[in-house]
């Protein structure tokens, strides 16, 4: 049986209901206490699914106060959660 879904919450719920193994972003999987990492696949999956975060903005707006404030907020928010996002979080 194969379960497929475009919904991250449906995939997480399927894993929580013991329907199988699924790759999840660390910040999602590590936040669910009932889920356990499958370590032998972790490095392979991480290499295949490494992503950069891009934030696009109009060139004319990048120096405005509100855009600078948003960028500062996003950066600081991500920095606080870096360990969890990168998969180095240990509960």
Per-residue pLDDT tens listing for the chain (91 residues): 788 899 999 999 999 998 888 888 878 888 898 998 876 666 666 666 666 778 888 999 999 999 999 999 999 998 898 887 777 765 5
Look at residue 45 in the predicted model and tell me its pLDDT.
62
Kindly list the distances between the CA atom of residue 24 and the CA atoms of 33, 67, 71, in Å, as whole numbers in the listed order: 14, 31, 26
What range defines the domain where residue 22 resides? 8-85
Look at residue 51 in the predicted model and tell me its pLDDT.
66
Does any domain span residue 39?
yes
Look at residue 7 in the predicted model and tell me its pLDDT.
92
Look at residue 17 in the predicted model and tell me its pLDDT.
93
Does any domain span residue 22?
yes
Does any domain span residue 91?
no
Look at residue 40 in the predicted model and tell me its pLDDT.
65
57-65 long-range contacts (CB < 8 A, ≥24 apart) are none
Does any domain span residue 80?
yes
- Neighbouring residues of 84: CB distance < 8 A, sequence distance ≥ 6: 26, 27, 30, 31
**Domain total for the chain?**
1
Q: Which of 57, 60, 23 is nearest to 41 (CA)?
A: 23
């Amino acid at each position: 049986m194969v379960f497929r879904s475009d919904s991250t919450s449906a995939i997480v719920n399927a894993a929580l209901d013991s329907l199988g193994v699924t790759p999840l972003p660390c910040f999602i999987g590590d936040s669910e206490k009932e889920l356990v990492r499958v370590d032998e696949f972790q490095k392979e999956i991480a290499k295949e699914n490494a992503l950069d975060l891009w934030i696009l903005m109009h060139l004319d707006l990048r120096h405005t106060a509100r855009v600078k404030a948003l960028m500062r907020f996003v950066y600081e928010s991500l920095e606080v959660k870096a360990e969890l996002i990168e998969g180095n979080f240990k509960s």
